[in-house]
Amino acid sequence: MSAIYILWLRELKRYVRSRAQIVASLGQPLLYLLVLGFGLGPVFQRAGHGSYFQFVAPGVISMTVLFSSIFSGIGLLWDRQFGFLKETLVAPVPRLQIMIGRTLGGATVAVIQGLLVVAVCVIAGFRPVSMTVAPFALVFMVLIAIVFAALGVAIGSGLQDMQGFQLIMNFLVMPIFFLSGALFPLDGLPKALGFITKLDPLSYGIDGMRAVLIREAVFGSHVDLVVLAIVGAILLVIGAYRFSKIEI
């Protein structure tokens, strides 16, 4: 267990020391909140859906957790280039513990960044139905972080250089975000698009966040919770297997 703690703590220290990363992590959420949240607000309201800012805020929070967690897993590439990964793998520690430590560290950093965006949303005018729902929203943030941190580790374990990073961004991460319903309601979609959104695990994370924060849900919070837990367990197993096959 000591290896898990050390790697988890290393990820936290690296995040805290990188002040630029903390500031930069707020740039994209602020863009979506201010430009889309207020810019599309009148259109969304005229359509009879209420406040678009209230609707999009849980999606932006989940987006922050998504990007941070999956990039922390792909950060294996940096460790590979600078030799830290080799030093870790040759240590007399089971690779499963190394993978769990990295995943939990990346997930913790993602949740911290998500909480920063929550604070920004509240300052900008977002109001959840009650402050008592905060622990439940945190549960969904943790599940989203674990799911995509494990996915990031699974992907990063198979990449050899940074050339594949842009492909991952264009053909995996961005579609996961845009098809999740973070920016638009999931009900009333065409059948083909609706089916695709149901295959996106982030859809259930955002739906769960909206269920507890603003009492709006398509699938239901219990379904969201079960799906995220199952997908997270599957991706942890896949990530552990792929990490165990990394060649030094």
Six-digit token pair at 10? Answer: 């290393």
Q: What residues contact 207, with CB distance under 8 A and at least 6 apart?
A: 181, 186, 217, 218, 219, 221, 224
Q: What's the mean pLDDT in 42-55?
A: 71
3-class DSSP state of 188: coil
Whole-angstrom distance, CA of residue 121 vs CA of residue 38: 12
DSSP 8-state class, residue 215: S
Residue-level pLDDT at 91 = 67
In angstroms, the CA 109 to CA 226 distance is 23
Helix, strand, coil % over all residues of the chain, rounded to 5: 80, 0, 20
CA distance 113 to 26: 8
H-assigned helices in 125-218: 134-156, 165-168, 174-178, 191-199, 201-213
pLDDT at 190 over 60: yes
Tokens of 93: 């520690």
Is residue 174 very low, low, confident or very high in pLDDT (cuts 50, 70, 90)?
A: confident
Compute the average pLDDT of residues 150-159: 82
Which pTM value belongs to this model? 0.89
Per-residue pLDDT of 52-70, as tens digits, reads 888 889 999 999 999 888 8
Q: Please state the rounded mean pLDDT for residues 125-130.
A: 85
Containing domain of residue 74, as a range? 2-244
Total number of domains in the chain: 1
Q: What is the C-alpha separation between 132 and 151, in angstroms, rounded?
A: 31
What integer pLDDT is reported at residue 225 of this predicted model? 95
